[in-house]
Amino acid sequence: MVDITKVRAIDIHTHAEEPCGCHSDDGYDDLQTTMANYFGAPWKHPPTIPETAAHFREQNIAAVIFPVDAERETGYRRYSNDEVIELVKQNDDVLIPFASIDPWKGKMAVREARRLIEDHGIKGFKFHPTFQGFYPNDRMAYPFYELLDHYGAIGLFHTGQTGVGSGMPGGNGMRLKFSNPMYLDDVAVDFPNMKIIMAHPSFPWQEEALAVAQHKPNVYIDLSGWSPKYFPPILVRYCNSILRKKVLFGSDWPMITPERWLADFEKIDIKDHLREDIIKNNAARLLGLM
C-alpha cells in the first residue's frame, strides 16, 4: 500500500505499456513511436510497469496506472487488466491500479468490471472516447456506469485533443469530437455517485470542462498531458480559486515525466498554500487514502 505520508506527490494519470515487440500483428508500436515524437518523450521504447515503478520510486511519487482497451475500434490488442494488476501488486508501494474496458463490450464489460472491483479492489476505470470511438453520454455505456455508480468508483475520461494518431494519415482514424467534455455533463447528472475525472486541459473546450467541474460535485479535472507552462490563464485562475480542491496532478507518463511536470508547475502562478493539495492531497482524498 502507498504510504501518502512518505510520497511527495500522487500522479493520477500514467499509462501501463507492454514492451515494444508485443504488437507485431497490429501496428501499435508505430503508433507509440509517433506519439513519442509528438511529445518529445525521452525514451526509445516505452517503459514496462516495473521500469515505471522504479522511476516513480526514485522520484518519491505515487502513481495511478492503467492500460487502455481500444481493441474493438483500433484493432490494437489490449494489455490485459489482470496482467497489469499482477505487476502493480509487486510494486504497490508506489503504484495504484486502475483498469480499462471498452464500454462497447456491453455485458462483458460489466462482468469484467464487477470482478475487478470485487476481487481486486479496483477503484477506477480509464475511458478514452476518441480512442474507443464513442460519445461518453451514449446510452450503450450506461450499464457500465451503473456499476461504477453503485460502487462509488471513478471514471477517468480523456478529454480534448489527443496525441493519439496526431500527424498520422487521417489521424489514424481518431475523431476528436468524441472527447468534448460537455458530454460528461450528462453522465455526471445521471450517475451522481460515480466520481468523474476529466483528463487533461481540454483544448479546445477548456471553458466547457471548467463549467462542468464547477457545476457538478462529482466531477474533477486532472492536469496531465500538458506542461503547466502551456496552461491557459483561465485554467490557472480556476486552480487558484473555485476548483482548488478538484484539480489533480497528472503527468501522462510515459509521454511526459512527472519530474518535468512538477518542475514546470513550480514556475506558474499557483498560490503556495494550494500546491500540496493539487499535487497530492486532492488525489489522496478522491482515492480514499486520507
pLDDT tens, residue by residue, 223-252: 999 999 999 999 999 999 999 999 999 999
Q: How many CA atoms lie within 13 A of 197 on its CB side?
A: 29
- pTM across the whole model: 0.92
CA distances from 132 to 82, 121, 129, 147, 246 (A): 20, 24, 5, 19, 26
Q: Which residues of 87-114 are buried (b: 16+ CB within 10 A; e: fewer)?
A: bbeebeebbbbbbbbbbbbeeebbebbe
The domain tally of the chain equals 1
Q: What CATH number is attached to the domain comprising 174? A: 3.20.20.140
Better-predicted residue by pLDDT, 61 or 172: 61
The answer as to whether 176 is a domain residue is yes
Q: Domain residues for 254?
A: 9-286
> What value does the mean pLDDT of the chain take?
92
pLDDT tier at 164, thresholds 50, 70, 90: confident
Quote the pLDDT of residue 44.
67
Task: Tell whether 2 is covered by a domain.
Answer: no
Residue 93 forms part of a structural domain: yes
Residue 162 has pLDDT above 90, yes or no: no
Given a cut of 90, whether residue 187 has pLDDT beyond it is: yes
**Considering the domain boundaries, does residue 1 fall inside one?**
no
The answer to the question of residue 233 being in a domain is: yes
**Among candidate residues 220, 285, 267, the one with its CA nearest the CA of residue 248:** 220
Q: Is residue 265 part of a domain?
A: yes
Is the pLDDT score of 24 beyond 60? no
Asked whether residue 3 is domain-assigned, the answer is: no
* Confidence band for 43, pLDDT divided at 50, 70 and 90: low
Structural domain contains residue 143: yes
